[in-house]
Chains A and B, each alone.
Chain A
Amino acid sequence: MPFTLAWTSLRRHGTRTLLAMLGVAVAAAMLLDMVMMSTGMRESFRKLLLSRGFQIRLAPKGTLPFDTDATIENTSGIIRVLRQNPDLTTISAVLGGTIHIPRGDRVIASSALGLDPRVQGDYELLSGRDPLAPDEIAGNADFIKATGARVGDTLTVASGYDPQTREYSGARKLVLTGQVRFLYGAARQRAAAMRLATLQQMSPDKADDASLFMIRVREGVDVDSAYRSIKGKVFTVNVISTEFALDQVDERLRYFRQLAVILGSVSLFVGFLLVTTLVTVSVNERIGEIAVMRALGVSRAHVVQQIVLEGVAISLVGAFAGLLLGLVTGRYLNGILKSFPGLPEAIDFFLFQPRSAWTALGLLALSGIAAGVYPSFRAASLPIATTLREEAIA
Chain B
Amino acid sequence: MSRVELLESDQAPLLARPYYGADGSASPITRALAQVPELLEVAMPLLSRALGEGAIDLRTKEIVILRVSARSGCRYCVDTHTVAAWDAGLSAQETAALCDGELDGDERERALVAWCDTFAAAPAPVSDEVTSALREHFTDAEIVELAVTSGVTLMLNRLCTSLELPTSPGTRARLEETRK
A binds B: no
